[in-house]
Amino acid sequence: MGEKTLNDIFYKPDIGASGAVEKGKFDDGLDVADGKIKDNENNIKSYISKMVVSNWTGRKAAADIKWVNVCWSPELKIFCAVAIDGDGSNVMTSPDGITWTSRNAAADNKWQSICWSPKLEIFCAVAWSGIGNRVMTSSDGITWTGRNSAEDTKWRGVCWSPKLEIFCAVGYSGVVSNVMTSSDGITWTGRTAASGNYWASVCWSPKLEIFCAVSFIGSDNKVMTSPDGITWTGRLPAAGDNWYSVCWSPKLEIFCAVSYMFGDNKVMTSPDGITWTGRNAAVDNFWASVCWSPELGLFCAVAYTGDGNRVMTSPDGITWTSRNAAVDSSWASVCWSPELGNFCAVANSGDGNRAMTSLFFH
- Residues with Cβ within 8 Å of residue 75, at least 6 apart in sequence: 116, 118, 121
The CATH class of 59-358 is: mainly beta
Report the relative pairing of strands 154-161 and 267-270 from DSSP bridges: unpaired
Give 158 or 217, the one with higher predicted confidence.
158
Alpha-carbon gap, residue 95 to 79, rounded angstroms: 6
Q: What is the DSSP string of 157-189?
A: EEEEETTTTEEEEEEE--SS-SEEEESSSSS-E
- Residues with Cβ within 8 Å of residue 22, at least 6 apart in sequence: 13, 14, 15, 16, 33, 34, 35
Classify residue 49 as left (phi > 0), alpha (psi -120 to 50) or beta. Answer: alpha
Contact predicate 78/95, CB 8 Å: yes
pLDDT tens digit sequence for 135-175: 999 999 999 999 999 999 999 999 999 999 999 999 998 66
Confidence at 37, pLDDT banded by 50, 70, 90: very low
Estimate to the nearest angstrom the gap between the alpha carbon of 321 and the chain centroid: 18
Q: Which of 67-71, 86-90, 155-159, 340-344 has the lowest mean pLDDT?
A: 86-90
The model's pTM is 0.88
Estimate to the nearest angstrom the gap between the alpha carbon of 189 and the chain centroid: 25
Q: CA of 326: how far to CAs of 266, 292, 311, 353, in Å?
A: 22, 20, 9, 9
Classify residue 51 as left (phi > 0), alpha (psi -120 to 50) or beta. Answer: alpha
User: For 175, phi and psi rounded to 5 degrees?
Assistant: -65, -40
- Residues with Cβ within 8 Å of residue 177, at least 6 apart in sequence: 150, 151, 153, 190, 191, 192, 193
pLDDT tens digit sequence for 293-331: 998 999 999 999 999 999 999 999 999 999 999 999 999
pLDDT tens digit sequence for 184-216: 999 999 999 999 999 999 999 999 999 999 999
Q: What is the DSSP string of 278-321?
A: EE--SSS--EEEEEEETTTTEEEEEES--SS--EEEESSSSS-E
265-271 long-range contacts (CB < 8 A, ≥24 apart) are 265/238, 265/239, 265/241, 266/241, 267/301, 267/314, 267/317, 267/320, 268/237, 268/238, 268/239, 268/243, 269/317, 269/318, 270/212, 270/223
Alpha-carbon gap, residue 23 to 88, rounded angstroms: 57
- The predicted structure's pLDDT at residue 265: 79
Alpha-carbon gap, residue 315 to 309, rounded angstroms: 18
